[in-house]
Amino acid sequence: MRVAMVGAGGLGGLYGGLLARSGLDVTFIARGRNLEALREHGLSVTRKSGEAFQVTVRATDDPRDVGPVELIWFCVKTYDLEGAARQALPLVGAETLALPIQNGVEAPETLGEILGREHALGGVGRPGRRLSRQGGSRRSRTSRPSPSGSWTGGPARARSALAPCWSKPASRPR
């Protein structure tokens, strides 16, 4: 499964890092100093348990460098979602799903208006995260993301499409 993580802060770093460590094809869409740090040093993740790991990741500020993916995971602030979704249009293919993990109930609707309703999922992410430094994510509490389904295919389509994300032990948040 090809995954594009839009946003590489606390949540994007955690989920993208876990997915990359499990062997999925993950590219981060980032900007500024965080983009530079990901390119130069990779991504480090520290779990609540104290376990830490480092992964080498691909990172770009231009989604055209990536092309269509199966999953676009939006981990940006709610006020940045519309612009991020417009920037992410080159990532959308016929089977692409777009999952927002952020505060606010309007995120799936925003993604549906820009990317197409057939691509937009709803989702809830509960792990407390913070960006510990550029290119680093530190966990402050425990949980895993929960996609709540899509407008056109329902929860079953979303869960089956996202199953590869959590099927390997290395990708499971603890």
Cα–Cα distance, 43 to 143 (Å, whole number): 20
DSSP 137: E
Torsion 20-26-27-28 (CA) sign: negative
Task: Locate the DSSP E strands across 9-157.
Answer: 25-29, 43-46, 52-55, 58-60, 71-74, 97-100, 121-124, 129-133, 136-139, 146-150
Average pLDDT, the chain: 81
pLDDT in 10s for each residue of the chain, 174 residues: 899 999 988 888 988 998 999 889 999 999 999 999 999 999 998 877 788 899 999 999 999 999 999 999 999 989 999 999 999 999 999 989 999 987 667 888 999 999 999 898 887 665 554 555 555 555 544 445 555 555 555 555 666 667 766 665 555 555
Q: Is 29 exposed, middle or buried (0-12, 13-18, 19+ CB in 10 A)?
A: buried
Listed by start position, the domains of the chain span 2-171
The predicted structure's pLDDT at residue 6: 97
pTM: 0.82
The predicted structure's pLDDT at residue 48: 76
| CATH number of 2-171, picked from 3.40.190.10, 3.10.180.10, 3.40.50.360, 3.40.50.720 | 3.40.50.720
Estimate to the nearest angstrom the gap between the alpha carbon of 61 and the chain centroid.
15
